[in-house]
Amino acid sequence: MTDDTKIRFKFNKINEYKYLSHLEIVRLVMMAVSRAEINIRYSEGFSPNPKINFSFPVPVGLASIAEYSDIDLLEQMDASKFKKTLNLALAENMRVTDAKNILGKVPSLMGDIGFCSYVFAVNTKGKKYESEIKNDIMSSLELSGSIHSLELVPNGTSGDIVNLNLIGYTKIYTNNKIFKFNDFLKYFKYLSNKMDIVVEDYFKKESYILKEGMLKTPLEIV
């Protein structure tokens, strides 16, 4: 039995932390690993690097409840203990929400993740624009082919607010295009002004890997 451990973990990047760049988030995670005295494995060679990789960077200003990372440790550690130990060294708005031990080899997160889902809370101001919103977005030439699925559902907090749930492609499969969040947000804000509705909030909800014809989260496949 080897004395090392590979762990995949999921963490938040919310509130003030959504304004940090990907490199700043990586640095904070590495500092937390050091403070928690978790022994991370390093690559070999003249310039060793910590063996940790992350999912796709999200744009600055976009909150996320589905950031992922794979980390190699120089010690045996159960994922639940890792989660508890690392959270003691992380700020509340960057907490690890789930973790699993990785058994065997898995592709890199950036190479494997093919879809990301987002939620937009939209105040329709009492107008019944749900079908128009969906049709306008799906027929847009700028966005055509980059959206895997889109639906509008009640928010549950107010009759005027609906959630637009969107899943976009992060890599090419057949003839789709890559979903670019900032381009979509720019278009959606234009559409909102035209329809006199308000985009009140938005965040990244989840990442997905295409496995056996189904979308599964990175933690569901390890």
Task: Identify the pLDDT of residue 68.
Answer: 98
- Same domain for 175 and 82, yes or no, is no
Task: Identify the pLDDT of residue 159.
Answer: 75
- Same domain for 69 and 139, yes or no, is no
Radius of gyration over every alpha carbon of the chain, rounded to an integer in angstroms: 19
Query: Residue range 95-108: average pLDDT?
Result: 95
Look at residue 146 and tell me if it is in a domain.
yes
| DSSP-assigned letters across all residues of 12-60 | EE-GGGGGS-HHHHHHHHHHHHHHTT--B-B--SSS--BSEEE-PPPPT
Look at residue 161 and tell me if it is in a domain.
yes
Cβ-contact 36, 175 below 8 angstroms: no
- Same domain for 142 and 197, yes or no, is yes
Residue 1 pLDDT greater than 50, yes or no: no
Tens of pLDDT along 79-89? 999 999 999 99
Q: Higher model confidence: residue 61 or residue 141?
A: 61
Task: Identify the pLDDT of residue 2.
Answer: 52
Query: 193, 176, 178: which is closest to 136 by C-alpha?
Result: 193
Query: 117, 11, 7, 6: which is closest to 67 by C-alpha?
Result: 11
- Same domain for 129 and 74, yes or no, is no
Lowest mean pLDDT across 86-90, 110-114, 136-140:
136-140
Tens of pLDDT along 19-45? 999 999 999 999 999 999 999 999 887
Look at residue 168 and tell me if it is in a domain.
yes
The residues with which 115 forms a beta bridge, in sequence order, are 169, 208
Look at residue 222 and tell me if it is in a domain.
no
Structural domain for 167, as ranges = 115-216
Residue 3 pLDDT greater than 70, yes or no: no
Give me the CATH number covering residue 34. Answer: 3.30.70.580
Cβ-contact 196, 127 below 8 angstroms: yes
Look at residue 221 and tell me if it is in a domain.
no
- Same domain for 85 and 179, yes or no, is no
- Same domain for 119 and 91, yes or no, is no
pTM equals 0.94
Domain boundary pick from 109, 127, 145: 109
Task: Identify the pLDDT of residue 120.
Answer: 96
